[in-house]
Structure 1
């Protein structure tokens, strides 16, 4: 067997776990990644995600004139898009010497995205955000266990660049970090309002473009997410549209309340934005 065939077989038989967006000890969001998933069907992919307990990415040959197709699973189901897993997969392909060029196109269930790598640093595109108001904000406040006085004087929004997240503007970091949601009611609430998760946030230094956030997913198999790229992108567009900051580069801190400090950078470029952050390989296990 040639070394090239041996290397290809190794990539198809391994799960590489990349920690993405970490900004301190224990921080970041791990993403199990299979860089050659041609032999796996959807249920096998879901089982990988369930075994590892994290959002997972599966790399497939390109389609629709894209360089790659990516599929994403959490322990409970397939997702249309996962920002940190996309970034982690692209960074990993480059790290393994398997990325064919510095900028690639990727087909996902939420549409085409682009990714680029420069100096070992990866970033992933998202389209311009869109948002609509929440018809029943009281229901959201009830599930989060907060009062109207805990909010900034801003609307609650369903916002998205791919998957819809519910943005809840809080007046302080103390309120954000003190949230104790009724997790048993989150799935039904998200179904009722057309969301895939609650994303409460608070300003740290809006003049510098720095915010803090937490993510409570609708139904992923775990109660809280340490770093959520597509939610951060949705928040960044809302911050620009609501004139919360004049900075084109926004930093969103997440995971601090759960002891997993993470940092996501979102940079605007015309009518799209780029997600970026730290990535590192932390584990390699047999498939």
Structure 2
């Protein structure tokens, strides 16, 4: 017993140290490339070749200011924001209605239909890119923002429905019965009571849909031939091809393209974690 008493504090001390060590290592793998990119954007190409990991000497802010002064960067930023917001609104709106039906209504074949929706998670986006391109060309949606928004929303429905259905099922049935006794219709219960109660889950799926749309590179690359419709991921790739010899300017462009996504995530992080935690505790 005495040996166990002596070993127990050692285990309690070693476990937090190990967790902190792993966290620091993972954080270093994430932060070091970002820091290298930020500092590299303030260097010249000569500095990058002679002093790749040191501080800029002298600092060259023109790489960043030149990108910010270009109209193409702001146009691509607007395109990314517009497509991400539209995708999120459609995905969450349609998924919320479908999840409400799957969670609160009993009908024959409900689980089969839900399984069909959930099976969408098994198909990678890249597998469908060729038939999707043919379909978009048939409907005349190439070089059209809807050609990106609608497929992104469709592919985002599966995960969104799964998350929202689980949350909607956790709402006590007594609340719905009381609302119906007060004269509330099923849609009125959904709109006035269920959605306000599901704000943490709605925030979670909104963040996931927004980030997924923002990072999508393949679909905008295939759909958009007009440079005026390019999103930031496509713009980064095209900018890299245009200035392939100017590494410092490419790093500045990439860093500036990351800033909106990092700013959005820093704002939405609490909602995302809160929604996931709420879903876990209610499930």
TM-score range, shorter chain: under 0.3
Instruction: Give 1 or 2: higher helix fraction.
Output: 2
Instruction: Give 1 or 2: higher strand fraction.
Output: 1
Which structure carries more relative contact order (alpha carbon 8 Å, separation 6+)? 2
TM-score (norm 1): 0.26
TM-score (norm 2): 0.26
